Chain A
Amino acid sequence: MSSAAQKFLQDAAVKSADLVHREIIRKNMESYDAAHLRGRSRFKDWEAARRRCQEIKREAINHLDRYLLQFEEKVIAHGGHVFWAANGDEACAYIRDLAVSRGVRTIVKSKSMVTEEIHLGPALEEKGIKVWETDLGEFIVQLRNEPPYHIVTPAMHLNRQQIRELFRDHLGEDIPDADPQKLVALARRKLREAFFAAEMGISGANFIIADSGAVAISTNEGNGRLSTSLPRIHVAITGIEKVIPRLVDLATLWPTLATSGTGQPITTYSTLVSGPRKPGEADGPEEFHVVLLDNGRSGLLGNAEEREVLHCIRCGACLNICPVYRNIGGHTYNTTYQGPIGSVLTPHLRGSEFQHLSYASSLCGACTSVCPVNINLHHHLLHNRRDFSYASGDNAKGRTQFKLWRRAMLNSRLYVLGGWMMRRGLHVLYGLGLAGTAADPLRAWSRKRTPIPLPSQSFRKMWKKGLTQKNAVKR
């Protein structure tokens, strides 16, 4: 077992028993569930919206070369720059060099999971550049020096008292009643100073639009707008899979993303940036750079079965519904992308060290049922498991188990005998008080739970009795 897998199991055991954490997540998720359902009911046909989004993304991903080149051509025509980064190091180096060469001392960032993926913040701070996260949730986790807990709501794991204490310790102002309105106002005041001082703004992109050469950014707070309006340089960094063919595609994608993300009909600010400030415009950056990041994504393109994982629009719906995420929380995954999509994606982006995440699922399929672009998430977890098993070579124990199982399934006498031995054996074992010990084959369940009540007879017997006593009479 890899060290990441061991840590995952340890952290999961601790988190799932943390009652305060459970209560915070329960409250958050209940509020999301209600908003999400309300939001979906605003569509005449939610399933048609999902299909439409799936078609848009499929068209884009299957012709990724064409649409990315079209996007690049447009951005350059608008006076912007496009940099193709093969990996995180190249992307960080480009932005760091740009910042250094332009004398940048302060950067305001709007929320971007890609910058978390490549650890851009630390790379810039090494050069003595101050980086401000300006999304409130990101600002909070930055002050706590921890990664985002959730891809949409980064500080979901904290309550207002914890945030009050954090602000008191780091911003030097106390809000005794921990009123969210006042906490937000305090963060607003502090971040305003940063917005007006910064020379560079860095944003992510929810979509990049081929036919318009524009970057689409959805935010509710307006921090994305200030980051892309006030500083003199704007850098947008995004994964290559974010491209969509047409501006009009957003008529379906924007409402579907907002509904899946927060339950809103549309995000408050659905912003489009197509270049640096034009002559005659009142304000805006003088320079506009787009960094297109591969970082393992093109590898997924070559995997026909799992290519659709690149359709993901990072709405977080699969995290919110996942029974595993709801119990172990976001930090336990120890990855940039958590929950089902993270479990599918991370082994591809970061290697087999994270393959254990493909098993962090009950395969219930809840994630697939809510995905707004219809990604077959739980099947991809199975694909990952299969590929991992083949790639890891000899699996003698597994093969023996499956051989025995196969034999029993093909021979009813053997199956009956196996069942009988199991029942008798467990009766004796549990009678001796050994339930949940190393001798118990059902230890995974009974270690921390009441043992399953053992039946006195087999299912076959019960079935037969049922037939003779009731059903047979009816016949």
Chain B
Amino acid sequence: MERIRAGLQVPALEHADQNSEAQIFETIQNPLERFQQECKANLMECLLVEGQAASAQTLAQVLQSLPQGEIYVQDSPGLRRIIDAAGTKRAVRWSSEGAPKESSQATVTLADALIAQTGSVFVSASCGGRGASVVAPCHIVVGLVSQLVPDLETALRNATAEQRLENNSYACVISGSSRTADIEKILVQGAHGPIRLVVIVDTKA
């Protein structure tokens, strides 16, 4: 700190005040449409449904498409209702029972927010913990259209206002499935995390 302060004794160079009011990103007119477009570009599956019953039905369909095995679900009253309604025969490990197992076939969580600008889901540790969105080969997010915000700036302002990083040790803006292009710049999905990221959005909420 002494060295830093000594360095800062040297006054900074003068610089012209620049116009920082210029608009950096386009204004988003239709957040839901933009969210769908960006999800597609991010190689995510965005499924629009109407109502909780439809959410459960869609979730059941997604789960049916996966190999046999346990799933890990964020322990929340809403997800307990949806899992019940989905009527899955799989073993369910709830987040209240601890971290997800490596053998989990899928993880099902809620999100804190959905971001239209980048087609992202904003999750924090309260969404089933840290591993819940990265350990299994498939991550399924059950979201509500009321959680959709137009851009990153709104999402981060809300997170600051709600003290999300005071109340959680972890948060992540997830924009697609795990991927790499480290070999000859060729895109490969499922590098270390999920190969599939599915977002079910209830448009009635």
Establish whether residues B24 and A265, one from each chain, have CB atoms under 8 Å apart when the complex forms: no
Count residues of B near A (Cβ-Cβ below 8 Å): 78
In angstroms, Cα B125 to Cα A30, docked, is 39
A387-429 CB contact bits vs B (8 Å, 1 = yes)? 0000000000000000000000000000000000000000000
Is the contact region of chain B dominated by helix, strand, or loop, or is it mixed?
loop
Inter-chain contacts of A213 with B (CB < 8 A): 165
Distance in angstroms between the alpha carbons of A270 and B95 in the assembled complex: 22
A267 adjacent to chain B (CB < 8 Å): yes
Whether the Cβ atoms of B130 and A64 lie closer than 8 Å is no
Residues of B within 8 A of A183 (CB): 183
- Interface stretch, picked from B4-12, B51-59, B60-68, B80-88, is B4-12
- Pair A301/B134 contact, Cβ less than 8 Å: no
Are A266 and B185 within 8 A (Cβ)?
no
Q: Evaluate whether A184 and B180 lie within 8 angstroms (CB atoms) in the complex, with A44-B24, A304-B11 already known.
A: yes
Min distance, Cβ A229 to any Cβ of chain B, angstroms? 4
Let me know if A221 is at the binding interface, CB within 8 A. Answer: yes
Q: In whole angstroms, what is the CA distance A323 to B58 when docked?
A: 52
- State in angstroms the CA–CA spacing of A84 and B15 once bound together: 31
- A-chain residues with CB within 8 Å of residue B176 when the two chains form the complex: 268
Q: Is A430 an interface residue (CB 8 A)?
A: no
Interface check A145, CB cutoff 8 A:
no
Q: Mark A285-304, 1 if CB is under 8 A from B, else 0.
A: 00010000010001111111
Per-position 1/0 for B120-149, Cβ under 8 A of A: 100001101111111100000000000000
* B172 cross-chain contacts in A, Cβ below 8 A: 225, 269-272
User: For A252, what are the chain B residues with a Cβ–Cβ distance below 8 Å?
Assistant: 24
CB pair B134–A181 under 8 Å, yes or no, is: no
Contact B185–A32 (Cβ < 8 Å) = yes
A268 touches B179 (CB 8 A): yes
14 cross-chain CB contacts under 8 A? A27-B184, A32-B185, A51-B22, A134-B192, A158-B183, A180-B184, A221-B180, A229-B135, A269-B173, A272-B165, A282-B100, A282-B130, A283-B100, A300-B7
A binding-site residues for B, Cβ under 8 Å: 24, 27-28, 31-32, 43-45, 47-49, 51-52, 55, 58, 62-65, 68-69, 78, 84, 86, 134-137, 140, 153-155, 158-160, 163, 180-181, 183-185, 188, 191-192, 195-196, 211-214, 220-223, 225-226, 228-230, 240, 246-248, 250-252, 254-255, 262, 265-278, 281-284, 288, 294, 298-305, 307
